[in-house]
Structure 1
Amino acid sequence: MRTSMNATELLIWSRLRGRKVDGWKFRRQQPIGPYFVDFYCPAAKLIVEIDGPAHQGDATWAYDLRRQAWLETEGHRMLRISVSQISRDLNEVIETIYVVLLEQEKRGFFRRPHPPAPPATSPRAAKS
């Protein structure tokens, strides 16, 4: 597990955290079995992996494929997104994640999470 995120991961995390994608909760650096995944939505069993330069090379690619096969065997769906996709159009990447969440919902693999709670108001604000 890494304790810090690179710039691309920070960018996408800023858009996933706090249930910003239609109320879906994501976790970062989530352990699943013997692996850690970049981002995980437990309700949808959706893994979002960011593929950058570290994922290039035959040995790394073979490891990634074995890892993905194991995670999918456990019932998870993996969405791989390249650093270049995020740099090119972050909004399109978030839209793609949202579409996959809707596909997972249609498959019925999970229960729909509650939408985010409205911001709390103080009793004083309600009296005004």
Structure 2
Amino acid sequence: GEPVVLAWPPIAGVPRGDSPAEQALERALAAHEWARGRRWNQTYEWHALGESYRLDLFWPAEGLAVEVDGPEHRGRITFANDRRRDVQLQLLGLDVLRFTNEQVLSDVPAVVDGIRRLLARRRADGTYPHGDETP
């Protein structure tokens, strides 16, 4: 059968204690000045009546969400829910980058580079209307 995985609810502001991938990504990002402004495990309230989403990693000023997916995201229903959620976030003007735990743990530099490039583009475009920065 499937191994039993004990998952603790994530604490806002830090990578999950039970996610080596989130912790490895944070260690890699902490070294870079361009990665400032990131928030781990924040709840994103996008609509008073809509459901709120917990984002693994979020740059509120730039509107960039990064999801680090463990094996629980492989099931058909979870996969479909993730895609529906990504579409909703994209319709709100966010960019969503999704990586598997394996991608993060096997090639942190590639993941960090993807995040860096998309953040740089968001900062250059200044297109995200809901960020902290007031016009």
* TM-score range normalised by the length of the shorter chain: 0.7 to 0.9
Q: Tell me, what secondary structure is at the counterpart of 1:81?
A: strand
Structure 1: 4+ residue segments shifted above 3 A: none
User: Is 1:2 matched up with 2:14?
Assistant: no
Q: Return the TM-score normalized by structure 1.
A: 0.76
Asked if the contact 1:16–1:26 (Cα under 8 Å) also holds between the matched residues in 2, the reply is no
Greater C-alpha radius of gyration: 1
Q: Given that residues 35 and 116 in structure 2 are in contact (C-alpha distance below 8 angstroms), is that contact kept between their aligned partners in structure 1?
A: no
CA distance change for structure 1 residues 75 and 89 in 2, over 3 Å: closer, same or farther?
A: same
Q: Could you list the runs of 5+ residues in structure 1 that have no partner in the other structure?
A: 114-128
Alignment of 1:50 onto 2:68: yes
1:116 is matched with which residue? none
Match of residue 30, structure 1, among 37, 42, 62: 42
Relative to structure 2, which stretch is displaced further, 19-28 or 41-50? 19-28
Q: In the alignment, which residue of structure 2 is the partner of 1:120?
A: none
Q: Secondary structure at the match of 2:26?
A: helix
Aligned partner of 2:49 in structure 1 is none
Identity over aligned pairs, percent: 28
Higher helix share: 1
1:15 maps to 2:28:
yes
Q: Secondary structure at the match of 1:22?
A: helix
For the 8 Å contact 2:29–2:35, the answer to whether it is kept is no
Structure 2 residue ranges without an equivalent (≥5): 1-8, 46-51
Check whether the contact 1:49–1:80 (CA below 8 A) recurs between aligned residues: yes
Describe the shift of the 1:48–1:21 C-alpha distance in structure 2 as closer, same or farther (beyond 3 A).
farther
Aligned to 1:121: none
- 1:23 Cα shift? 5.0
Give deviations 1:37-87, integer Å, cap 9, x for gaps: 000011110001002201001100111011111111111110011112112
CA distance in 1, matches of 2:35, 2:24: 18
Q: Which residue of 1 aligns with 2:78?
A: 60
- AA paired with 1:48? V
